[in-house]
């Protein structure tokens, strides 16, 4: 079936719809990873976004449910230049089309993703809609106007506390949309993990007497999470705290820093980041649209992005508080960034 992407600025791309055939609105963003589409689709931080992959052939190793980052697909739509209909891999369980259908997410193929990426890169990310034939321009406009993503974290977070038993460090994870591989990274180190829904009261988190509180990644604008920030304030100084991505941004806001929005974000598997403490450069996986633009007092920069010099990590000068903007749990190639979890646990 024919399908279109209509951007907020009026640009129209015509292609072929696949997956679950239903109009869908979101913020259109691009990801430059060459592989890992299964992880991208299921990373809850993409909730509210339509993702286009810059790599031209997507789906060729199919989907396997061992690699997913959460229980469902969180992107609002998925755009590819060419979808592979004959995936071939010994771990493949199904093709991309079937997976999107099962998860009720629309896909669009056969559009010039390079031209789309250039528009987003030059003008910034913007809202867009993947729509099927028959939707009028007025309906499209109304749907674009009505779209907002302020409830993203509350939508993706767990509704119940979950416990993953271990004999080591007791970690309380605040689930703002946590990726499975973060939980696996703590579990691989023997941690005893309790995962709390995003709006759990601070006294309930402190109630388990954790050794470390971890603030997870998650979707949306950190400034929309005033209640969560109030809760984190109550945790500062009481326990060591670590964070990744949204967790890092929330820490900055809680401690008096500022966040801003990047023009087109960092999404991909090859962002060079310098760890200033180690004096080494690492190739990192990233997925964020916001960033810490003003550091809180008493925090110092530990990592910078070598593409645009933005802050990629920070550490408190007096308290055991440390966070990174990129995704040390992800392994777009080797597992070089895994050591960050040892640094998190060393806060204890």
Ligand X SMILES: NC(=O)CC[C@H](N)C(=O)O
- Residue numbers at the binding site for ligand X (CB under 6 A): 45, 217-220, 245-246, 287-290
Q: Is 289 annotated as a binding residue?
A: yes
> Toward ligand X, which CB reaches closer, 111 or 213?
213
Query: How is 264-326 classified by DSSP, letter by letter?
Result: EEEEEEEEEEEETTTTEEEEEEEEEEEEEEEPPTTEEEEEEETTT--EEEEEESSSSEEEESS
The answer to whether the annotation marks 246 as part of a ligand binding site is: yes
Least Cβ distance, residue 109 to ligand X (angstroms): 25
Cβ 289 to ligand X, closest distance in Å?
Answer: 4
Q: Is 209 annotated as a binding residue?
A: no
Which residue, 39 or 97, has its beta carbon nearer to ligand X?
Answer: 39
Active site residues: 245, 327, 329
Q: How far is the CB of 204 from ligand X (least distance, A)?
A: 23
Provide Rg for the chain, Cα atoms.
20
Is there a contact between 338 and 326 (Cβ–Cβ < 8 Å)? no
Q: Are 81 and 112 in contact (CB under 8 A)?
A: yes
Q: Which token pair is 153? A: 């974290």
Q: How far apart are CA 162 and CA 149, in angstroms?
A: 26
Closer CB to ligand X, 45 or 302, in the complex: 45
Nearer to ligand X, 85 or 227 (CB): 227
Annotated binding residue 220: yes
Angle at 201 between CA 183 and CA 239, to 5 degrees: 60
Residue 20 labeled ligand binder: no
Rounded to 10 degrees, the C-alpha dihedral 340/343/347/348 comes to 100
CB of 209 to ligand X, least distance (A): 27
- Residues comprising the binding site for L-glutamine? 45, 218, 220, 246, 249, 287, 289-290
- Residues comprising the binding site? 45, 218, 220, 246, 249, 287, 289-290
């Amino acid at each position: 079936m024919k399908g279109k992407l209509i951007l907020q600025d009026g640009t129209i791309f015509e292609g072929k719809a696949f997956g679950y055939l239903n109009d869908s609105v979101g913020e259109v963003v691009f990801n430059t990873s060459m592989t890992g589409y299964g992880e991208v689709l299921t990373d809850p931080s993409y909730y509210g976004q339509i993702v286009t992959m810059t790599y031209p052939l997507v789906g060729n190793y199919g989907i396997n449910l061992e690699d997913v980052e959460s229980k469902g697909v969180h992107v609002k739509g998925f755009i590819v230049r060419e979808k592979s209909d004959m995936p071939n891999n010994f771990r493949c369980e199904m093709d991309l089309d079937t997976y999107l259908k099962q998860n009720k997410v629309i896909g669009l193929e056969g559009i010039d993703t390079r031209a789309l990426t250039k528009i987003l890169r030059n003008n910034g990310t913007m809202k867009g809609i993947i729509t099927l034939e028959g939707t009028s321009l007025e309906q499209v406009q109304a749907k674009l106007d009505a779209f907002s993503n302020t409830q993203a974290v509350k939508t993706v977070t767990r509704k119940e506390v979950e416990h993953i038993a271990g004999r080591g460090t007791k970690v309380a994870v605040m689930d703002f949309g946590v990726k499975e591989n973060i939980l696996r990274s703590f579990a691989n180190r023997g941690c005893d993990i309790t995962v709390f829904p995003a709006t759990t009261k601070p006294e309930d988190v402190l109630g388990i007497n954790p050794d470390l509180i971890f603030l997870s990644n998650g979707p949306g604008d950190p400034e929309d999470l005033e209640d969560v920030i109030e809760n984190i304030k109550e945790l500062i100084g009481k326990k060591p705290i670590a964070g990744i991505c949204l967790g890092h941004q929330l820490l900055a806001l809680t401690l008096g820093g500022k966040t801003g929005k990047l023009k087109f974000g960092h999404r991909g598997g090859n962002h060079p980041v310098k760890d200033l403490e180690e004096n080494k450069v690492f190739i990192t996986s990233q997925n964020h649209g916001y960033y810490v633009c003003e550091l809180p007092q008493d925090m110092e920069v530990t990592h910078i992005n070598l593409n645009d010099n933005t802050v990629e990590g920070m550490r408190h000068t007096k308290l055991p508080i440390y966070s990174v903007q990129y995704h040390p749990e992800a392994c777009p190639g080797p597992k070089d960034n895994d050591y960050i979890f040892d640094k998190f646990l060393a806060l204890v």
